[in-house]
Structure 1
Amino acid sequence: MTDTTAQEPTMEEILASIRRIISEDDTPAPEAAPAAAAPEPDPVVEPEPVTAFMEATPSTSEPEPEPEHEDEEILDLTDRYEAPAHETIGDLDVAAPEPEPFPTSFHSEPAPVHPEPAPSTSSVDHEALVSETASASAASAFAGLAASFRPPEPTPTGGTGPTIDDLARALLRPMLKEWLDANLPGIVETAVRKEVERIARSA
């Protein structure tokens, strides 16, 4: 019972609290606080360069394999080539010229037309004037004339020496040859002309 009375407020405390509340309502509200200062602008953040970002970012790609032959000498392309003194331009390899492109289209030219030669009038006249029979007879006549100039076969002698016939033939042979050389062409030409005229008249 004593604990309950000690915990409950007394009448005086209740009245005091009511007066305090009333006095707080009657007091004017405090002046508004001065306007808050304008917010300061945020500092401008400059973009970092891409290269710095790439350097900062850890690489996720696998490292490239190193070449097997590390000890091989790498040719520096910036070095100048110095040709030996005895080497000339003729010793160097010269690139062959590129072949010309093969033509894809062909223009065929017409073959030249050669006119047939006109038949020779001389050959026509020769074929019409002399027949095969006449030609064969003339050939046999010339063959017989040529056979007449063959030297006769020597006749066996009794060992007494050349006969009179042999001496006469030996003396006449040079004379006959000279006469034939001088007169045979004219005789043959005259005989052929007469035969041709005869055949032409009978045709």
Structure 2
Amino acid sequence: MEDILSSIRKILAEEEDEEGGDAPAEQAAAPEPEPEPAPAPEPEPAPEPEPEPDIDMTDILDEPDPEPEPEPEPEDLFEPEPEPVAAAAPPPPPPPPMPEPEPMADIMELTPDMVAPDAIMSRPTSLHGSDVLAELARAILDRRDLPVMSSGDASLEGIVREMLKPILREWLDRNLPYLIERLVKKEIDTMVNRAEGLDNWG
């Protein structure tokens, strides 16, 4: 605004100076009238100041305090050492081989414990008995009225077993009842004596 007013004053002062210098010339010769100067432009109105916003003190008091910014976490000066990778466990050893089963001993074979260290009969007597039994076996085989063994065992032992069966049956029929009676009586006497001993002890 001040700049505009100073410009107007300057223009007016220059016009007055020009009019003062041209006065004698106008008197000498009437010059043509100079055109009227253009009117000075109207000053622009000063801009109105913007109204200040009304400040409500209740809003200021009601506003919550700003939350404090979280402090930045301190950077680790030392980086954690990486955990060592566990070495792969060695594979388990293979299971031991199963022991081979021991061969079954032949039950018909005489073991060293079963063999008598000293023979009961002398060698000549044993040979003589073997000869007699062999002769008996040949005589039995020659006879056709003997029962045929179901097992088909034609050995000397099998023949003797078949011959002894009737004799053993007859002996058991005659003596077994007496043996049973005697054994039972002996067991009963033992139990009675034991019971009497317990009564006396009590």
Q: Shared fold (TM-score greater than 0.5)?
A: no
Bigger relative contact order, structure 1 or 2 (CA pairs below 8 A, ≥6 apart): 1
TM class by shorter chain equals under 0.3
Give TM-score scaled by structure 2 length: 0.18
